[in-house]
Chain A
Amino acid sequence: MIAIRTEELHKVFGEFTALNGLNLSVDEGTIFGFLGPNGAGKTTTIRILTGLAHATSGKAWVMGNEVTADGHKIAQEIGFLPEEPAFYKWMTPPEFLDYVGRIFGIPAAERSRRTKELMALAGLEESAKRRIGGFSRGMRQRLALAQAVLNRPKVLFLDEPASALDPIGRKEVLDFIEQLRGQCTVFMSTHILADVERVCDTVGIINRGKLVTEAPREELLAQYAVPALEVVVDEKSESKINPWSETLKREPWVKTISRQELVVRIIVNNIETAKTELLRSAAQVGMVLNKYEVVTPSLEDVFLQLVSEEEAEK
């Protein structure tokens, strides 16, 4: 069964088009990674699907209910974690979870049991008597996740759930999401590819309000399994990286280039040509390399390739 579906979804803010005919289909029970650069339309999509915003045109369904007609209809069946969760700072975490439970109409005994269970799951038992106002970002995020799953939702919307967290916080949140596999459909928007690669089984890539591609993660990797080369440049040659990258971009055997400090990753069309030409090119500009290897493409490579192709078409 399809849990989420959108049909030609448009959202326009003045002269800015946030969604430009988004067509999406998410199967029930999957952890769907909704990937895209900042401003691609991820949050807008989630706001429309949760009933917080209205589509300019097009339709959307969540669990078979048309949310573009009445967004509140699915309130009982969904959970939502916004990018920046906000709480009533004067409440303690159990009070907040109890309040959410009351809104869902959960009976008192069940509410109390569920609150204790989620406090433990979120690792907040020791902070049960503290006011939320004094919580760290990580603690708030865990509490936000707990409130999002309190009603055992059929569909859980997570907007950048781990973006603002430190590595430990990110791991905790991703572990939490991992535990939900098979229990509900998770729709997770993010711009962090490593997070999607770790927990999502299906990936949708959005750019400029349009879906670029949508497929199971492994299928996507196999389909776009393009060879890549990774070089680590010596510190002495750091100033030469950008001019060298510009030169490489003009080579017909190069598809895309990405850089992370001293690490340069090059997606190529022809690995044999690349093996010969890359080193020659580096030597020509006097680059000193500390490492050079052929690597397996990651989701990041696929993402960059797809988005750059999309940009080139425009």
Chain B
Amino acid sequence: MNLFTAFRKEWMESLRSYRLLIVIAVLVIFGLTSPLQAKLLPQVLAQALPIPAGTDISAFIKPPTVSDAVAQYVKNMSQFDLILAVLLSMGAVAQEKDKGTAAMMMVKPLPRGSFLGAKFLGLAALFAIAITISGIGSYYYTGLLFEFMPIVPWLALNVFLFLYVLVIIAITLFCSTITNSQAAAGGMAVGIIVIGFIIGVIRNTGRYLPGELNTWGIRLMQGTTTASWTALAVSIVMIGVPLLAAWLIFKRQEL
């Protein structure tokens, strides 16, 4: 019951602070421009390269395909999902502790787990809506510029993008819980994510990490059926463990 009350407050805040609108606007813009970027890239390159006038540029640069549009979409979305998820989550708990609103609320019958859970669900709902709108827009626009894609793999691709965002939110919420400064929380979250990238590259373990979900999505769009179940399981663990740790720490924290 109180989880719903706290979630309702988070949702109201997302609307009043224009957070929802901003996230939708950013993701829709970059979602829609992805197929356009893929479409225009050969022409931009042709203008930048010293190709004699009248030459057939397809001899130098392959004509763009729907796969290029999908790759561009995944690249844009994962980058902006990451940036927005860190920015919106880093102050979620830290700021409330710093300002004193957390202390005002935690003496009331609002369990700390509900407080944290509502933060996570609020951010998850916000990104779910933004990714859905952006996904629909991009699907339609890619269809207009290239060809209409199969719906189910496209749906799966966007679910993977959403899961990837949830990992970032969970890690950043954990960082926001263990500090009172949103800047420190953001810094820590970025640090953890960067370390994850480095480990993925150096030890060749990237295929087991959440970033692999995006590659899996692209493979599905290409018709390849090779699944990355380990990456999916690791992602779910990487959502659950930081949230559980945040709850255990927050439960004992003095406000």
Residues of A bordering B, CB below 8 Å: 47, 50-54, 72, 75-76, 78, 80, 82, 84-88, 90-91, 95, 99-100, 102-105, 144, 147, 151
Instruction: Using known A-B contacts A53-B254, A99-B5, A103-B109, determine if residue A82 contacts B104 with beta carbons closer than 8 Å.
Output: yes
Binds A, one of B9-17, B21-29, B76-84, B179-187: B9-17
Q: Interface centre among B9, B100, B104, by most A CB within 10 Å?
A: B104
Q: Which of B107, B109, B252, B254 contacts A105 (CB 8 A)?
A: B109
**B109 with A80: CB separation less than 8 A:** no
With an 8 A cutoff between CB atoms, is B45 at the interface?
no
B106 at the interface (CB under 8 A from A): yes
Size of the B side of the interface (Cβ < 8 Å), in residues, is 25
- Contact present for A52 and B255 (CB under 8 Å): yes
- Given A52-B254, A52-B255, A103-B5, A90 and B107 touching (CB < 8 A)? no
Bound together, the chains give a CA A147 to CA B108 distance in angstroms of 10
Q: Which residues of A contact B101 (CB under 8 A)?
A: 86-88
Cβ contacts under 8 Å, B2 to chain A: 103, 105
Question: Pick the contact of A90 from B1, B13, B100, B252 — CB < 8 Å?
Answer: B13
Say yes or no: B108 contacts A100, CB within 8 Å: yes
Task: Determine whether the beta carbon of A102 is less than 8 Å from that of B107.
Answer: no
Give Cα A271–Cα B215 distance, bound, in whole angstroms.
91
B13 touches A103 (CB 8 A): no
- List residues of chain A with CB within 8 A of the CB of B17: 90
Given that A103-B5, A105-B1 are contacting pairs, would A84 and B107 also be in contact in the complex, using a CB cutoff of 8 Å?
no
* Contacts known (A53-B254, A86-B100); A103 close to B110, Cβ less than 8 A: yes
Contact A76 B109 (CB under 8 A): yes
Minimum Cβ distance to chain B for residue A112 (Å): 15
Chain A residues near B109: list those with CB within 8 A: 72, 75-76, 103-105
Which residues of chain A come closer than 8 Å to B99, judged between CB atoms? 86
Q: List 20 A-B contacts (CB under 8 A).
A: A47-B255, A51-B106, A54-B252, A72-B111, A75-B108, A75-B109, A75-B110, A82-B104, A85-B100, A85-B104, A88-B9, A88-B13, A90-B17, A95-B12, A102-B5, A102-B8, A103-B2, A104-B108, A105-B1, A144-B104
CB distance from B160 to the nearest CB of A (A): 33
The CA-CA distance from A51 to B107 in the complex, in Å, is 7
Bound form: Cα–Cα A266–B161 in Å: 75
Q: Which of B6, B100, B107 contacts A78 (CB 8 A)?
A: B107
